[in-house]
Amino acid sequence: MDTKPFEPKIVAFMCNWCTYGAADLAGVSRLPYPQNIRPIRVMCSATISPHHILRAFQSGADGVFIGGCHIGDCHYIKGNYMTIKRVAFMEDLLNWFGLEGRLHLEWISSAEAQKFVDVIRRFTEKIRALGPNPIPALLKTPKAIWNGADDEGHCANVA
Amino acid sequence: MKDIVRTWLESGRIDLFLGYRLVDGHPIPHCFSKERLEEVEQLTESLARYPLEKIAHQMLQKDPAVRIGLMARDCTQRSVRVLAAWNQIDMDRIRVLTMSCCPSDAKDKAFCSYLQEPETGPVRKSNGMPSTGDPDDCRVLPAEERLRRWLYEFQKCIKCYGCRDICPVCFCKDCGLEHEDLMDKGVVPPEVPLFHLIRAVHMAGRCVDCGLCEEACPVGIPLRLLYRKVNGIVTDRFGYRVGQTKDQSPFNVLGEFSPLELSSLDD
Ligand code: SF4
Ligand code: SF4
Ligand code: SF4
Ligand code: FES
């Protein structure tokens, strides 16, 4: 039996020009923040497609965080316009699908080390309260998989 | 209808006509031509549905100069518009001949295989997604239950790619569903929900709600419900309705502004 307390795994995509800088600044300023994030540096928050978000959840991430430049400050002018459209869409889709509150986007400039720390802390606590990503467990339980054919004679893939 | 097609072919307004031909009592998709005008006698309206516009798209890829006539349902007309918006077909090369499909008091016939009620039994009722037609009906179920039911549906998938192959608006040369970096190629069953949600993202602002994917799916996954939802999000968030304009969906193109607010961590 696994008795370790639940430690959320959060994949954090961070824009090189802002949030990653803020994380760096938080580090050199010795501001403590939860070690639950797995940082991935990207050149612009707009390089994060819904594919990356879905891939992270499929691989068992408990939360996905995206940090980008404030609107108007994107290094590539309007990259973050795309980011917010995608995230807004993905939030709606995931909420409806049954994976609620596990995706978060925030604009954090490279000077906002304190904001970065606060956001990461709050998001980690939110995910901690939500508990682990339910997908891996659901895929293992016989409740989601069933044997034999259903009413229409369709057979299941029992891996 | 036969007369119109004959006239179009004879006068050279079109080179080819895609429709259904009655062969031994079965309506099958067929390409009618000027050279074999006598076949037009067997042209038929039918319940059968094939993505004729997808065939037209493929023909135009081979020969951009050909002019194609198309027997078109309502959904066909929407996907022709979508294909044109994404620069996949040249509208000048396509001429549609409307056929009676979705029912209305204003007409006496409705030809569409999708109008038949789907049947469900007890297993599907307790484990599957309620296929009511409105994707938001499932909101009455708690989130965990929705997730469980969708995973039940997706786990039936045999990764036949039928949904993609039949879809009139799936035209990508390199399909993301076969991208090695995203998921393992040649491995069945697919990773779920990844496989289906990726396709759902692609269908946002693009799916014309023809229902061919769901009809083609050998394991009865309520795909149409899923794509209705993603289109609903695009309509709610960006005010875009698929197949009703000449523009591409603002979800897929940068555009000039982004009016959305960030959602707060407290929600
Ligand atoms: S209903 Fe299915 S087949 Fe038709 S356009 Fe939408 S995704 Fe494609
Ligand atoms: S599933 Fe997606 S990537 Fe594949 S053909 Fe359709 S739209 Fe293109
Ligand atoms: S048609 Fe159905 S079984 Fe085939 S790949 Fe699509 S969802 Fe899976
Ligand atoms: S460069 Fe930071 S969001 Fe585009």
B60-74: pLDDT as tens digits: 999 999 999 999 999
A123 CA distance to ligand 4 centroid (A)?
Answer: 21
Q: Which residue blocks in chain B are alpha helix, DSSP H?
A: 2-11, 52-62, 74-85, 122-127, 143-154, 162-166, 194-203, 212-216, 223-238
Chain A residues in contact with B123 by the CB 8 A cut-off are 146, 150-151
Q: Inform me whether the pLDDT recorded for A158 exceeds 50.
A: no
Ligand 3, atom 4, lies closest to the CA of B160
Which residues approach ligand 3 with their CB closer than 6 A?
B 157-163, 216-219, 221
Q: Which of B165, B177, B179, B196 to mutate to test the pocket of ligand 2 (most atoms within 8 A of CB)?
A: B177
Q: Inform me whether the pLDDT recorded for A7 exceeds 70.
A: yes
Percent of chain A with pLDDT over 70: 87
User: Is the CB of residue B166 below 6 angstroms from any atom belonging to ligand 1?
Assistant: yes
pLDDT per position as a tens digit, B209-235: 999 999 999 998 999 999 999 999 999
What's the fold here for domain A10-144? Rossmann fold (3.40.50)
pTM of the model: 0.92
Of ligand 1's listed atoms, the one at least distance from the Cα of B199 is 7
Mean per-residue pLDDT over chain B, rounded: 91
Q: Inform me whether the pLDDT recorded for A143 exceeds 50.
A: no
Domain ranges of chain B: 2-98, 135-238
A146, B128: Cβ pair inside 8 Å? no
Residues A128 and B3: their CA atoms lie apart, in Å, by 69
What is the ipTM for the molecules in this complex?
A: 0.91
